[in-house]
Chains A and B, each alone.
Chain A
Amino acid sequence: MSDVGHAPLATPTQGGIWRSPADRPLRLDSGAILAPLEMAYNTYGTLNADKSNAVLICHALTGDQYVASTHPVTGKPGWWTTVVGPGLPLDPARYFIICANVIGGCMGSTGPASPDPTTGKPYGLAFPMITIADMVRAQAMLVESFGIETLFSVVGTSMGGMQVLQWAADYPERLFSAICVAAAARHSAQNIAFHEVGRQAIMADPDWRGGAYELEGVRPEKGLAVARMAAHITYLSETALQRKFGRELQRDGLSWGFDADFQVESYLRHQGSSFVDRFDANSYLYITRALDYFDLAASHGGVLANAFLQARKVRFCVLSFSSDWLYATAESRDIVRALNAAGCRASFAEITTDKGHDAIFLEEPALDSALRGFLASAAEKRGLA
């Protein structure tokens, strides 16, 4: 990928890498400084003359900037083509949509696989610990570089939803509206527990090499695949798993061994092995850690509502899925109550589905209509035709 600055915005879909100016490094919550900082991003649509139609999309843990365009590694369509695209709630004909790979990621933004300026070699575990707030701070710098003062909306799913909440806490004056889908204001003990299983799987892989695998020309693929398998279970509901696979076997009869007898085993193995092609193990460690550290109330005197006190002018939409047990409806309700307590204008709907957390990426008419309704009225208030 290419160069400093932005390509011209004449064509609808653009991508590139933005580099922070030398005098503006990224100061991290840990106290460390990240420089140079690179942000890989894609944009869809055209920024209007008064720069009032910009939408920032924040991706989930293993997502990236390919929100609505073909993924260069997998060749698959973007991760949110049910929501972003012509005739969809986030239509590039109407909005200028930005999606950037988070810092710590592995699709072009500065992360543990990037070269450490002090050694010239990949950071590995020398990469500083990052937080959700750090990710947002980097996004804010990127948005600023477009000359955008106020985002029409910041939209995020799962980890992206946490970034949305962080945006509302840290940059409320730069937001007109905010949409938080299937997220939480903090990571629960169960969330942390599942992530720890994933991290331990990676670190137990002999090819992890204390995080220095890249230098040694190996990759901890087995560990990363197991991490993905464990995590993937949390994305699906019990009902969805049962419906999709039940106890169905791969072939007639049992193998009386440890091959993938059951279809669900084969499915998970496939999820694991295809994931390692597109994701970096150290990125997985760093980003899951950032999620575990996330507790928006804790950084606001223990009261979540305090995080939103400056965001009273922002129009919020919070959505959850009824069968999501990773970030359950109760978590979204806590967010909404805090927004109400802070005096913010908030909408909240629980979308009835049996598809679990994964419903984010699937055709859900209720999600579609909720996003459409909310965005249309916000756009009208914003004066977007």
Chain B
Amino acid sequence: MRTQREDFKEILRLVRPGARVLDVGCGEGELLELLTREKNVDGQGLEISSEGVSACLARGLAVVQGDGDRDLDHFPTQAFDYAILSKTLQQMREPRHVLNELLRIADRAVVSLPNFGQWRVRWSLMVRGRMPETKALPEPWWSTPNIHLCTLHDFTALCDDLDLRIEACAALNNGKPARPIDPTRAIENWRSETALFLLSRKGQAEPAAVPPGELFPK
């Protein structure tokens, strides 16, 4: 087996066993399969590519071929415990709407995104005067699917604006283990390559802060 992706490990840690999970943009279903196997979740995927959908079906996962930008509206309110959106928010036409929808459909959203405020990005733009191409964002401007990039501070501001609570946040750098961070700190906006958020809607009962380590011991 391939070594497990660090963001998957962190998501595995955050998701409660037996939960109902919607993975938006689930690809070939690696994460859903992992969550089903390790956490016994009741999983559902949404995937736009037919290759991805076929792969998911072959793995025995429930998957709907569809478009996260359009099809979330058709899911009922609070149908899931978690909605996962892994490194795709920046590719959506309407990230704000998608984020709102995720937290309508599910009690919690797990969202990861590349940080456009990382020093490598800033450095690349400042020194080269060209659109940044980094390890986390390797494609040139004319072929990148990332149409709505943002910095950690942009994202936390949007969360505030939408009345979302950040229950946990971890930085993921270049395959290193996830590191819990406070995403509002300038230093994290400077050094984090990718960040993974656990979000919920404010107004619900205040949950306990998410501690590091195993959340749901077996």
Contact = CB atoms under 8 A, between A and B. Distances in A.
Contacts of A369: 54, 57-58
Contacts of A347: 56-57, 61-64
Contacts of B63: 347-349
Interface stretch (A26-34, A221-229, A275-283, A332-340): A332-340
Contacts of B79: 340, 343
Given A337-B74, A340-B74, A340-B75, A315 B62 contact: yes
Interface residues of B, number: 21
Interface stretch (A133-141, A150-158, A372-380): A372-380
A345 B62 contact: yes
Contacts of B60: 373-374, 376-378, 380
A106 interface: no
Contact of B57 (A349, A352, A380): A349
Contacts of B76: 340-343
A341 B50 contact: no
How many A residues are at the interface, by size bracket?
20 to 34
Interface in A340-385: 340-343, 345-352, 366, 369-370, 372-374, 376-378, 380
Contacts, number: 70
A340 B64 CA distance: 9
Contacts of B64: 336, 340, 346-348
B202 interface: no
A341 B54 contact: no
Nearest to B72: A340
Interface string B62-86: 1111100001001110010000000
Contacts of A374: 57, 60
A350 B50 contact: yes
A351 B44 CA distance: 19
B72 to A, nearest CB: 10
B53 interface: yes
Contacts of B44: 345-346
Contacts of A372: 58
A377 B42 CA distance: 13
Nearest to A351: B50
A229 B64 CA distance: 35
Contacts of A345: 42, 44, 62
A188 B79 CA distance: 30
Given A340-B75, A345-B44, A351-B50, A373 B58 contact: yes
B41 to A, nearest CB: 12
A312 to B, nearest CB: 10
Contacts of B74: 337, 340-341
B59 interface: yes
B66 A333 contact: yes
Contacts of B71: 337
B145 to A, nearest CB: 21
Interface string A301-334: 0000000000000010100000000000000010
A370 B42 CA distance: 19
B211 to A, nearest CB: 32
Contacts of A343: 76, 79
Nearest to B59: A373
Contacts of B42: 345
B185 to A, nearest CB: 39
Contact of A366 (B50, B59, B62): B50
B57 A370 contact: yes
16 contacts: A317-B57, A333-B66, A337-B71, A337-B74, A340-B79, A343-B76, A346-B44, A347-B62, A348-B64, A349-B57, A349-B63, A350-B65, A351-B50, A369-B58, A373-B59, A374-B60
Given A341-B74, A347-B64, A378-B60, 13 more contacts: A315-B62, A337-B74, A341-B75, A347-B57, A347-B63, A349-B50, A349-B63, A372-B58, A373-B57, A373-B58, A374-B57, A377-B59, A377-B61
